[in-house]
Amino acid sequence: MTPYEKASRYLQELLKTSSLEDIIAGLSAKEHVDSPKLPRFIYASEQSVKRRWELLNNDEAQAILFDEAAAATMERYQHNIENYIGTVRMPVGVAGPLKVNGLFAQGDYFVPLATTEAALVASYSRGAQLITASGGCTSMLLSEGVSRAPGFVFQSLIESGMFVNWVMQHLEEIKQAGESTTRHGKFSEIRVNIEGNHVYLNIEFFTGDASGQNMVTIATQAICDYIEQHSPVRPQHSFIEANYSGDKKASSLSYLGVRGKKVSAEVTIPAALVKDYLRTTPEKMMEYWKMSAIGGVLSGTMGVQGHYANGLAALYIACGQDAACVSESAVGVTRIDVTERGELYMAVTLPNLIVGTIGGGTGLPTQQACLSLMGLAGTGKARAFAEVAAGLLLAGELSIIGALCAGDFTRAHRKLAREGKKAT
């Protein structure tokens, strides 16, 4: 079906129930009338929550979302949510054991995953068990840093060049301005991009055990304030983020540096274990990888991998990470090879793991409990957490590619998602 035919059919379906005039009237702006408003106080308090539910007027939903547990823990969420009305529960499962041999992560981990997608935890757990049976994966943190990219508008390209020259001569002062806002953040570098009379400064910080987006935003604002006060070349306009840092989006910039933590993990698996756990062969898995790599190129994907987002979303939600960062964290490359001894070699490389073990949602009760299950809650654990995350994604790639090669992919989803519901 051509795009024209598809659009024509869609329009015909719409016109079966409404006239064109009614459709246009429904889509047009309406005269404003006063609507019920949320309380102006956006934080969680007994009175403000009560007023919000009076406005929403849904006793059944209130009983579920704002139960005794949600009311009792309300104050814990003050710095994580506005216009609070309760909590949402998600099922949490564990995948593992996953043996990780890393620079910072050492041992067997049972990894908590929060998801509503049947078959996901089972798949990651199968891959983790295969990795563990093979002696574990090697997982290595390669680089780290979080960036913010302010933009500056000048009258001309000449002014852009003069401004960049001034910035390069005052890096120490710029560094001090940024670091003055944080005890944990450390200035790393500035990368410059000039586009006509526009200048982008990609400012990178080391953020310790925090995922660091807020930390870097505040530090970058201090840098922009210093530039505004001291630069002899005055920008006409400036913006704290000019959409050049790659924040919360997949970009080719990922492969040129790091945003968050860059980690690579690998495993070598004997053919007999591949057959026992996955019911396929290393050779067939490599053939699948070659075809999927070309498929990724043909479809224009950013990187080549099976389903990093599945594992990352479940891990991030369970462990109090910023779930929106899955959009950039899921950029990466999976590679498969067959060794001279006929073993399966698989590696994953992720340049954008935005993870932390302090700050953000990591201190909330259930999220901290999930981090604690792995022994990764609190200070000094973020690097190990990143290495475990890479090992988890390696497990997920092993399992899904094995299922596709063995013809188990559809069967597993049918059994766990459909037949499993019937069994309950």
**pLDDT for 277 beyond 60:** yes
| Start-to-end Cα distance in the chain | 41
Q: What is the CA radius of gyration of the chain?
A: 25
| List of residues 6+ apart from 328 with CB closer than 8 A | 246, 247, 248, 249, 250, 251, 254, 259, 260, 352, 354
Q: Looking at the domain assignment, is residue 12 inside a domain? A: no
Residue-wise pLDDT for 194-215, tens only, equals 999 999 999 999 999 999 999 9
The reply to whether 343 and 306 lie within a common domain is yes
Write down which residue in 67, 89, 111 finishes a domain.
Answer: 89
Please state, in angstroms and as integers, the Cα–Cα distance from residue 171 to each residue in 177, 227, 301, following that order.
10, 11, 37
How large a percentage of the chain has pLDDT more than 90? 80
The reply to whether 232 and 376 lie within a common domain is no
Q: Looking at the domain assignment, is residue 346 inside a domain? A: yes
The reply to whether 309 and 216 lie within a common domain is no
> Is the entire prediction scored with pTM above 0.75?
yes
The reply to whether 377 and 233 lie within a common domain is no
Q: What is residue 422's predicted lDDT score, i.e. its pLDDT?
A: 56
Q: Active-site residues: which are they?
A: 117, 248, 322, 413
The reply to whether 322 and 362 lie within a common domain is yes
Average pLDDT, the chain: 93
The reply to whether 369 and 281 lie within a common domain is yes
C-beta separation of 206 from 217 below 8 A: no
| DSSP per-residue codes, 248-302 | TS--GGGGGS-SEEEEEEEEEE-HHHHHHHHSS-HHHHHHHHHHHHHHHHHHT-S
C-beta separation of 245 from 148 below 8 A: yes
The reply to whether 110 and 194 lie within a common domain is no
Q: Looking at the domain assignment, is residue 287 inside a domain? A: yes
Residue-wise pLDDT for 404-417, tens only, equals 999 877 666 666 65
Q: Looking at the domain assignment, is residue 193 inside a domain? A: yes
User: Residue 225's domain is classified under what CATH number?
Assistant: 3.30.70.420
| List of residues 6+ apart from 306 with CB closer than 8 A | 292, 334, 396, 397, 400, 401
How large a percentage of the chain has pLDDT more than 70? 96
Q: Looking at the domain assignment, is residue 273 inside a domain? A: yes
Q: What is residue 16's predicted lDDT score, i.e. its pLDDT?
A: 92
C-beta separation of 396 from 313 below 8 A: no
Write down which residue in 89, 115, 133 finishes a domain.
Answer: 89
The reply to whether 122 and 264 lie within a common domain is yes
The reply to whether 156 and 136 lie within a common domain is no
Domain residues for the domain of 234 are 150-239
Total tally of structural domains belonging to the chain = 3
Q: Looking at the domain assignment, is residue 26 inside a domain? A: no
Coil, helix or strand at residue 191: strand
Q: Looking at the domain assignment, is residue 248 inside a domain? A: no
Write down which residue in 176, 204, 239 finishes a domain.
Answer: 239
Q: Looking at the domain assignment, is residue 123 inside a domain? A: yes
| List of residues 6+ apart from 54 with CB closer than 8 A | none
| CA–CA dist 299, 290 (Å, integer) | 14
The reply to whether 401 and 285 lie within a common domain is yes
Q: What is residue 384's predicted lDDT score, i.e. its pLDDT?
A: 98
The reply to whether 155 and 77 lie within a common domain is no
Q: What is residue 417's predicted lDDT score, i.e. its pLDDT?
A: 59
User: Residue 387's domain is classified under what CATH number?
Assistant: 3.90.770.10
Coil, helix or strand at residue 238: strand
| Closest listed residue to residue 125, CA positions, set 410, 320, 406, 398 | 398
Give the pLDDT band of residue 3 (cuts 50, 70, 90).
confident
The reply to whether 293 and 353 lie within a common domain is yes
- 148: which strand partners? 203
What per-residue string of b and e applies to 293-327 under the rule 16 or more CB within 10 Å gives b? beebeeeeebbbbbbbbbbbbbbbbbbbbbbebbb
Q: Which amino acid appears at position 390 of this protein?
A: A
Residue 93: CB atoms within 10 A of its CB come to 17
